[in-house]
Amino acid sequence: MESADIERLWEMANKISIIVSLGTFVFSIIIWFLLKKQQKKMKILGYTTPPIKDYKTDFEKYTTLQTDNPFALCISLLSTTHSIKSVVKKYLKLNNLKIRDKNIIELAMDGIDGTEAIENYLTQLRELRRGELSDATEIRLFIAGPVQAGTMAGAILDNWVPVLMYHKGRIDYEYWGPLLKS
């Protein structure tokens, strides 16, 4: 190659570099405007989200709610307690909540630590929602494990049917209320 050809090659590369740089700059400006617009929408949504009204009425309504095909989901994520199903059955019976034995589903793991265990937990929850819980008209959710696991379960269940949360108190489970979006 002659030096003139090499010089033309460098001039061409320089022009291409300038065009790519300008394209990247324009793309960055567009993305910046889109993010600002989205941020503004999120701020407006935050200000316009209505406050929870009359939670006590919802709390009471769901306490006695009994739909056609209720399910109980028992999640045990403690290494010290492998199963909570028998305790949940006892609670349901004492509180006159009629849920058939076949509709009491349990997800038990020997502790939950590390990303692999969390991924396994989330995968099992998704499979339960698509599978065994797919016919549920309500879910009574009993959890023995870390609070974060309950948050993840709430996100996956996403209140597609009424989801009623129960917490293990000092002695027995207690109703904490429905998971409501609005």
Cα Rg of the chain (Å, integer) = 27
Sequence-distant (6+) residues with CB within 8 A of 76 are 82, 83, 84, 106, 107, 108, 109, 144, 145
Q: What pLDDT, on the 0 to 100 scale, is given for residue 32?
A: 94
Pick the CATH number of 55-178 from 3.90.550, 1.20.5, 3.40.1710, 3.40.50: 3.40.50
From residue 93, alpha-carbon distances to 16, 22, 24 in Å are: 75, 70, 65
Tokens of 162: 């009424």
- b/e map of 79-96 (b: 16 or more CB within 10 Å)? eeeeebbebbeebbeeee
Distance CA 71, CA 69 (A): 7
Which of 105, 172, 95 shows the shortest CA–CA distance to 139?
A: 105
Q: What pLDDT, on the 0 to 100 scale, is given for residue 73?
A: 92
Per-residue pLDDT of the chain (182 residues; tens, 9 = 90+): 678 888 888 999 999 999 999 999 999 999 999 999 988 888 877 777 667 777 777 777 777 777 888 999 999 888 787 788 888 898 888 888 888 889 898 988 888 888 888 898 899 999 998 989 888 888 999 988 888 888 888 888 887 788 888 887 777 888 888 887 65
Q: What pLDDT, on the 0 to 100 scale, is given for residue 25?
A: 94
Q: What pLDDT, on the 0 to 100 scale, is given for residue 34?
A: 93
Q: What pLDDT, on the 0 to 100 scale, is given for residue 1?
A: 64
pTM of the model: 0.67
Domain residue ranges in the chain? 1-49, 55-178
User: For residue 55, what is the enclosing H or E element?
Assistant: helix 55-64
Which of 59, 61, 80, 66 shows the shortest CA–CA distance to 174?
A: 59
